[in-house]
Amino acid sequence: MPVVIHKDPVTEAQIEVDTQTVHNVDVKRLYLPVVITAKCPVCGKQVKHDLKEHYLSYPAFNATETVGLMCFNDDDDECCSFSVNVAFGFTATLVTP
């Protein structure tokens, strides 16, 4: 499995980050600093979906998640709902004090 290794030459600390094995996140409401924008397949309007406001439920990292988006017209009526596929991963780095 691909593992990214970070080493600190001063402290000789090391971390290994598995960037491929699916990692299930056991969190019912996970908010992330990720904003998705996509074109509505019906009306063509740009739809914004902020994952700091709309949570993911029990997502998996190092895997592809289907994220549902909703488009509303100017009268706040639902135009349609559609989804995009997003691959979530994470990074970790050593910080030298």
**Binding of Zn ion by 70 (CB under 5 A):** no
In the bound state with Zn ion, the residue whose beta carbon lies nearer, of 4 and 42, is: 42
Residues 1-30 that bind Zn ion (CB under 5 A): none
Give bridge partners of residue 80 from the DSSP assignment.
Answer: 71
- Which one of 43, 70, 87, 92 is in contact with Zn ion (CB under 5 A)? 43
Taking Cα atoms as reference points, which of 80, 91, 93, 96 lies closest to residue 23?
91
**Binding of Zn ion by 79 (CB under 5 A):** yes
CB 52 within 8 A of CB 30: no
* Token representation of residue 76: 């706040």
Site residues for Zn ion per CB under 5 A: 40, 42-43, 45, 71, 79
